[in-house]
Structure 1
Amino acid sequence: MTDVLVTATKRVRNARELAVAITTIPRVGLEATGASDAGQAASQFAGVLVTNLGPGRNKLLLRGLSDGAHTGRTRSTVATYLDEIPVNYNAPDPDLRLVDVERLEVARGPQGALFGAGSLSGVYRIVTRKPDLVDFSAEVRATGAITRGGAPSGAVEGHVNVPIEALNLGIRLSAYDEVQGGYLDDILQQRRDVDQTVRRGGRLMVAFEPNDTWSATLTVAGQHLRSRDTHYTAPGMGLKRAVRIREPHVNDIELATATIKGSWGWGDLVSSTGVVQHRYGSIFDATATKDLYTRTGVTSAYSERTRTRMLVQDLYVTSRGAGALEWLAGVYGSYTAVESPTEYSVQLPRVPLIPVYGDDRRDRVRELAAYGEGSYRLTPDVTLALGARVFAVHTRTLSDVDSENFAPRSLDRSVDFRGVSPKISMTWAISPGNMAYAVASEGYRSGGINSGGAVPLAEKRSTFRPDRLINLEAGLKLEGLSRAVSINSSVFYDMWNNIQTDQYRPSGVPYTINAGDARVLGMETEVAARAGGFTVQVNGRVSAVRISDANSDFTARVVNALPGAPAFSGGALLSYEQALIGDWTLRLVGQFTYVGPSRVTFDASQPKTGGFVRTKLSAEVFGALAGRPVGLQVYALNPLDSFSDTFAFGNPFNPGLVRQITPQRPVTVGITLSAAI
């Protein structure tokens, strides 16, 4: 077992010395398992779940702290970072492909003191490989796969690193192009393999190090993701579906960031500036609710488009050295502009779509914060740390609603939210490599305003209040047998008040409401062991939820569970490596993930989804040809060809009429070739 240094707490630290439940997957682990995105890597993290609405439409969940399976106006509960900059606001996970990545870091539990709103349940960070200022390198990987009854899939990815030593510069370019073949056939539209997804993107990084004290890194990145259709069907239809119109989805993201780092004898400075544009949209068959808007038309469609632009500045200074007192102080500012127009249209025979309802909504969010953390070593083995974030969030919402059969209306309202998010922790170094910790931390999200719908919501539903989550946690990080065995385990008790949740009106139009309070008692454990050529990693999470003070205006039957969050989930990874002839090595890997049953909403009357098991098996041979690393991997996804319901939701305009399910991808066999240049 090797020590992994992480930056998920804004300091470069050994993960095993921090009072935070942190898990990392290094680059070699991602390549060995073939994980190309957050969903495929989730089996290696305790307490990490990903909804399965479809690529670019999913939500990341940590510790089962779910506010709902849908995305809407609420801020994301998990902060997704690319290096030093957040890349999501209230959007579904952008589903960035993990190309040329150094490692993944997941910090579970609220991180409001350091990361602010949007990190209510934790932080998911993608750490990229930085430009090398000395050595040239290049690599290419190509994958092809076939799916039973579906279309073939394929991907090409690679990077090139060019140093310019005379200028103390390094340039690194990464790029990829991927097609995920569809496997659902639409019998109404007479189309095969309708749910194909295309994902392509790239990243250019330029690093400049004029001396040993200062460095600067500029990153420009983007990804385009488009699914031709949705991924749900109805029970009893197998891999067939019957939807009147196509339901495509797009999720595009572009960003530019600049990070400057400086060091002195007493401290380090990090300044990160980022501009992010995130555009995503969906079209749904809304014929089931057509009569609520118009009596004309044969079919109808509901389209939602969102463009989020974020400007972020984060600057902090940390102490250097290993003295008894260590500290961190920073300031943060962001401006977010969200434009999210929605439109309801009807289709007449041989006539283009005719709009009969629309909501032109715009949100402007300003956030300012100052934060800090200090730790003091009380004894050689015991350290106490205190931290806090002082913040102010201002949100202004404008909306113009126009409907064919109802009077138009406009809205211009603002809300403000100010507060302090504290954190206190204590660590006890039991012995080298072994420690215990206790932490109390808090996460928060500001409130907001509802708009939309041909008929306005009642006044008490026109706004939603802020929510807060207080986390009490105790954990152990242990090693034994000459570091061949490691155990990370934590017990947590979370008090989540005024839970914000995105829901749908009977007309299918989304709105946000406070569902009530939750008390969550849980435990998560990760165990890793290595002997000879064998490595075993096992993780699990179990939790019990009690809902109290339920909002009677929301639903009459609230279940004692959080939506999309099963009481138990777990995963296992088994690998074996055997040296072959010369520099060649054989590696066998098996991955298994279990997700227990859960409901998609807070409503106890809704059906459950799951539980199900995901499986992936792979065999790889890697070594060197002419002194250059090469590899060949053969893999099988869902080798038992299980047809499991992974997500009981697909279209908000007819869930009460027809139950919806999202089946697993059928058995898929693929091959990946890699070569360094």
Structure 2
Amino acid sequence: MNSCSRQGPRRAARPVTLAPTASAALIAIGLLASGAAAFAQSEPAPADKDAKKDLQTLDRVEVTSGKRRQMQSDVAGTVTAISGADIESHGSADIEDLLKLTPGVQYNKGTADGSLISIRGVGTNSNGAAQGFTQSPTGIYIEDVPFTDPFAFVSTPDLAPFDLERVEVLRGPQGALYGSSSLGGAIRYILKKPSTSLTEGSVMAGISSTADGGTGWSTAAMVNIPIAMSTGKAGLRLVLNSRKDAGFIDNLGTGVKDANVIRVDGGRLLFTYALGDDFDATATYLRQHSKQADGPGISPFDYTTGTGYTKNPDQLKLQVRTAVPMAYDSTFDLATVQANLKLGDFRLTSLTGRQTKSRGAREDFSRDFYDPSAPGDKWTSDTFYDSTSTSQEFRLAPVTPGRVNWLVGAFWMSADVKRDQLVYHEPRAAVADLRFRRNGTATEKAAFADAEIKITDRLSADIGARYYKTQLSYDRIVGNTDADATSTPYASGDSGTTPKVSLRYVIDPSMSVYALASRGYRFGGISNLGSSPQGLPYKSDSLWNYEAGWRWSPSKTASLDVSVFRIDWKDVQLSELYVDPVTTRSFLVTGNVGKARSQGLELAAAWRPFSQFSLKGTFAYTDAVTSGGISIGGTGIPDGTRLPGTAKVQGTLDASTNFEGPWDSSARVSALLAYTGQRKAQIDSDLSLPAYTTLDLRATFSWNSVEFSAFVNNLSNSRGLSSAVDYFTTYTEFYPIRPRSIGVSLRYDY
């Protein structure tokens, strides 16, 4: 949310729920199933019955969420692993596409690299603009390096998914192994490593058209080169990607049609060196740049007349009216070196990471500063965010698994974050009318340990804990120029322990159950103003997650995972607008307030009745509400208020069928039906986002090294809303999902 806005009346609005229809989607999936059955009946019987059985077997996925290699089905906890093959088969372009496949996870859309992700309802905002100076509740990790800002939200990197090994989504707090940035859960990007023996490459290009919008395109390329060396083996892997997402929002104020165009360019270079089984190291450098032009959201408010304010989604069009063009520019890069050294019967792992993030936002403040006595006045805000972080982790673990598989480790991280906001009245003068600067350094030190103990052949326990110490030093700089600036320093710190314990029991080879208790925490900090009581330091908030699960694989062609959980969250960090009684400006302030709880059910099922057809489904019920006296800035929030950004009900149905296509091709047709229930947009607002349903269809035809795909996403052109920010003093901004998009792509592998 903007740091600065003019005081105005709070406007009430009735919550609106749209009843989505999914009949077309169900018919499409039914046709897939019947088509697959027909292909199965006409398929010649293979000579070897076991060969056919193997084709029907569901894929077994290996994960490293516990910082050791395990089969996904053996983890005592809820981990969804989306393989690189699944990412490619669904044509995923960004993290929004990926998270559709995961129950209990809500992607709350914002500007480029400005979105928020909520897991199991843990969150107090649905949009990065309202996150303020608190750490995001969901951790983002690339190659196990934390990418979530410790304070003063900069961005949520959305790494291009081309040529990924897999993405792991860990639901529930991961404080024992991953630290502060995983209060509600974590998302891990695992990059595909260089091959030291195989020369290979891929090129891909696609084009798409968006309903009520323009044309977009995407390109990507990968090359892997083994390197001959006199000792050891080495490999180099280069990945490049570029895409343009078509705009579909018209800006009536600037006269720009299809204004919200997004351009993403990036690449990564990986180098691996291995000296037998005793030593290996991988160095990685990646960089990604995203630009979003104008119109990031929709709002009918007219800054020239003060009319058009609404919270009713039924009255929305894909239009916005701003006085000046808006623009967002985000860049992040990461350099890592991971080395593994065998020391007798043990392996020592060192992971060094350095990352930078920068983000610029030019936003129209004419709506924020709307003054009935001066309608049509133009205001602009330029905000610059920068962060630099360095981290180091060491782990020691046995090489050969035994009845006790353990690891111990140490972690250190230091992050410098700067935020500078300048507000101008148009036509702008050389010096900003208002300026707000916040600079800080955050450090985290931790020691952790984890042990998986095989008590009997069927019963195992996992016990882990992390001791942490966090510190934050922070300057609030007041003054429009360096000459008249005054700096006020603040400091805060926290320490504590985040334990985890689980039990897993194998009933028989097809069935197991587990129970888990784990704790998570988040950085404390200093509020935006720095004047009592609103500027007092706020401490770390923490939560306990209690979970039980049941896994059943009645055959190699079917699986069912069911988990239930309860989360108890205390000292909840909440950011809310506070109106300064002297200046009448409003600011985001943060404090520890009250309690909250979240409880629910998550389900994931897969079935491959015959080799050509597979069906997967997910379902999540999440009841996340306040449970104890939440209030800040004098505004009370009643017990039982739903936490924002998470639907009470979510679900997906994913069907695919393979068959012999035309012109000697191998063909695949898939359908993904996704339902997102009603959500609350903001904890301190009555704004409600309606439920919506989308259906994505994709057909792929392959000939040896060539692959052609055609797709339509959001077939019914659902006008769903991903998130919203309620600037209740003036206006509300909504972030719609992408309208129906139709496109094709061509890929060549060698």
In structure 2, which of residues 685, 688, 694 is the aligned counterpart of residue 614 of structure 1?
694
SS at match of 2:479: strand
Q: 1:552 to 1:105 in 2, by over 3 A?
A: closer
Q: Which residue of 2 aligns with 1:59?
A: 116
Q: Confirm or deny: 8 A CA contact 2:333 2:355 kept in the other structure.
A: yes
Task: Summarize deviations over 1:51-102 as a string: whole Å, max 9, x none.
Answer: 0223311112112212322333212212111122122224432111112101
Residue 561 of structure 1 aligns with which residue? 642
Once the 2 structures are TM-superposed, how far is the Cα of residue 399 of structure 1 from its aligned partner?
Answer: 1.5
Which of 519, 537, 545 is the matching residue for 1:442? 519
Tell me, yes or no, if structure 1 residue 162 matches structure 2 residue 225: yes
Q: CA offset at residue 432 of structure 1?
A: 2.0
The separation in 2 between residues aligned to 1:642 and 1:366, in whole angstroms, is 44
Counterpart of 1:566, as a letter, is: A
What is the aligned partner in structure 2 of residue 176 from structure 1? 241
Correspondence 1:279 to 2:358: yes
Task: Report the CA distance between 1:518 and its aligned residue.
Answer: 0.6
Q: Which residue of the partner structure matches residue 255 of structure 2? A: 190
Once the two structures are superposed, the pairs formed by residues 91-130 of structure 1 within 5 Å of their partners are 91-130=154-193
Shift of 1:281: 2.7
2:442 to 365, 372, 375: 365
Deviates more, 1:415-424 or 1:580-589: 580-589
Tell me if structure 1 keeps the 8 A contact 2:206–2:743: yes
**Structure-1-length-normalised TM-score:** 0.93
Superposed counterparts of 1:18-37, under 5 Å: 18-37=75-94
Percent identity reads 24
Separation in structure 1 between the aligned mates of residue 338 and residue 657 of structure 2, nearest angstrom: 39
For 1:440 and 1:237, the matched residues in 2 are separated by: 44
Match of 1:210 in 2: 275
| Conserved? CA contact 1:54–1:230, under 8 Å | no
Structure 1 residue matching 2:636: 3-state secondary structure: coil
Quote the offset at 1:331 in angstroms. Answer: 0.4
- The equivalent of 1:478 in structure 2 is 552
Q: Deviations over 1:406-464 (max 9, x none)?
A: x9653101111111111111111122243211111000013110234xxx643254322
For residue 179 of structure 1, what is the amino acid of its counterpart?
A: K
Q: How much does 1:660 deviate?
A: 3.0
Aligned to 1:13: 70
State the shift of 1:665 in Å: 2.1
Q: In the aligned structure 2, how far is the partner of 1:91 from the partner of 1:18? A: 33
Distance in 1 between the 2:649 and 2:532 partners?
38
Query: Which residue number corresponds to residue 518 of structure 1?
Result: 596
Letter in 2 for 1:313: Q
Structure 2 partner of 1:536: 615
Tell me the CA shift for residue 588 of structure 1.
0.7
Matching residue of 1:268: 347
Structure 1 residues 546 and 667: CA distance shift in structure 2, 3 A? closer
Tell me, in whole angstroms, the C-alpha distance in 1 between the residues paired with 2:362 and 2:70.
45
**What CA deviation, in whole Å up to 9, does each residue of 1:214-265 have, x standing for no partner?**
1010001000001002332235352222111122112210111000012355
Indicate the residue corresponding to 1:301 in structure 2. Answer: 380
- Cα separation, 2, equivalents of 1:244 and 1:544: 40
- Distance (whole Å) between structure 2 residues aligned to residue 364 and residue 119 of structure 1: 20
Conserved? CA contact 2:122–2:624, under 8 Å? no
Distance 1:437 1:124, change over 3 A: same
Q: Give the equivalent residue in structure 2 for 1:416.
A: 493
The alpha-carbon distance between structure 1 residues 515 and 353, as it changes in their structure 2 partners (threshold 3 A), is: farther
Q: CA distance change for structure 1 residues 26 and 489 in 2, over 3 Å: closer, same or farther?
A: same
What residue is the counterpart of 1:201 in the other structure? Answer: 266
AA aligned to 2:549 is G
| Aligned mate of 2:135, from 51, 75, 82 | 75
What amino acid is aligned across from residue 748 of structure 2 in structure 1?
A: A
Structure 2 residues not aligned, in runs of 5+: 1-57, 300-312, 580-584
Name the aligned partner's letter for residue 527 of structure 1.
A
Q: Provide the C-alpha distance between the structure 2 equivalents of 1:522 and 1:237, rounded to a whole number of angstroms.
A: 32
- Conservation of the 8 A alpha-carbon contact between 2:367 and 2:731: no
Distance 1:648 1:75, change over 3 A: closer
Q: Any idea what SS the aligned residue of 2:59 has?
A: coil
TM-score, normalisation: structure 2? 0.85
Deviation at 1:377, TM superposition (A): 1.7
- How far has the Cα of 1:134 moved from its partner? 0.6
Distance 1:476 1:485, change over 3 A: same
* Alignment-derived partner of residue 255 in structure 1: 334
> What is the SS of the residue equivalent to 1:75?
coil
Q: Is the 2:538–2:591 Cα contact (8 Å) retained in structure 1?
A: yes
Which amino acid is 2:278 matched to? T
Q: 1:501-537: CA deviations, max 9, x gaps?
A: 3334454533322342111111111011112211111
Which stretch shows the higher mean deviation, 428-437 or 587-596?
Answer: 428-437
Alpha-carbon offset, residue 356 of structure 1: 1.4
Aligned counterpart in structure 1 of residue 397 of structure 2, from 310, 315, 318: 318
1:372-521 aligned within 5 A = 372-402=449-479, 409-452=486-529, 457-481=531-555, 483-506=556-579, 507=585, 509-521=587-599
Counterpart of 2:735 (choices 662, 668, 671) is: 662
- In structure 2, what residue type is equivalent to 1:125? R
Q: More displaced, 420-429 or 62-71? A: 62-71
Structure 2 distance, partners of 1:526, 1:494, is 20
TM superposition shift of 1:295: 8.8
Which segment drifts farther, 388-397 or 260-269?
Answer: 260-269
Equivalent-residue separation in structure 1 for 2:325 and 2:655 (angstroms) = 41
Structure 2 residue 667 is the aligned partner of structure 1 residue 591: no
CA distance in 2, matches of 1:431, 1:125: 31
- Structure 2: how far apart are the matches of 1:543 and 1:48? 10
Q: Which moved more, 1:78-87 or 1:270-279?
A: 78-87
Q: How far off its partner does 1:584 sit?
A: 2.7
Matches of 1:144 and 1:493 in 2, distance apart?
A: 44
Q: Deviations over 1:324-372 (max 9, x none)?
A: 2221100000111001111221113xx5575111122111011111000
> Which protein has greater RCO, CA pairs closer than 8 Å, 6+ apart?
2
Conserved? CA contact 1:297–1:346, under 8 Å:
no
2:284 aligned partner: 219
Q: Check whether the contact 2:527–2:534 (CA below 8 A) recurs between aligned residues.
A: no
Moved more, 59-68 or 217-226: 59-68
Partner letter of residue 402 of structure 2? G
Letter matched to residue 718 of structure 2: S
Count of paired positions = 660
* Structure 1 residues 138 and 583: CA distance shift in structure 2, 3 A: farther
Query: What CA distance in whole angstroms lies between the structure 1 residues aligned with 2:543 and 2:121?
Result: 13
Please give the per-residue CA displacement for 1:583-611, whole angstroms capped at 9, x wherever unaligned: 731111111221111112112x5220121
Q: 1:270 to 1:63 in 2, by over 3 A?
A: same
The unaligned stretches of length 5 or more in structure 1 are none
Shift of 1:635: 0.4
- Output one character per residue of 1:391-415: Cα deviation in whole Å (capped at 9) or x when no partner: 11111001211269xx965310111
Equivalent position SS for 2:99: helix
Match of 1:342 in 2: 421
- Partners of 2:178 and 2:376 lie apart in 1 by 49
Give the Å deviation of 1:390.
Answer: 0.8
Task: Say whether 1:632 aligns with 2:708.
Answer: yes
Q: 1:433 and 1:209 mapped to 2: Cα distance?
A: 38
Cα deviation code 1:265-287 (max 9, x no counterpart)? 52222210000001123222212
CA–CA distance in structure 2, aligned partners of residues 141 and 508 of structure 1: 48
Could you tell me which of 189, 196, 207 is aligned with 1:144? 207
Mapped partners of 1:246, 1:409: distance in 2: 32
Work out whether residues 76 and 91 of structure 1, in 8 Å CA contact, stay in contact via their aligned partners in 2. Answer: no
Deviates more, 1:573-582 or 1:219-228: 573-582
The answer as to whether partners of 1:258 and 1:274 remain within 8 angstroms in 2 is yes
- What is the CA distance between 1:296 and its match in structure 2? 12
- Hey, what's the Cα distance between the residues in 2 that align with 1:565 and 1:127? 26
RMSD (CA atoms): 2.2
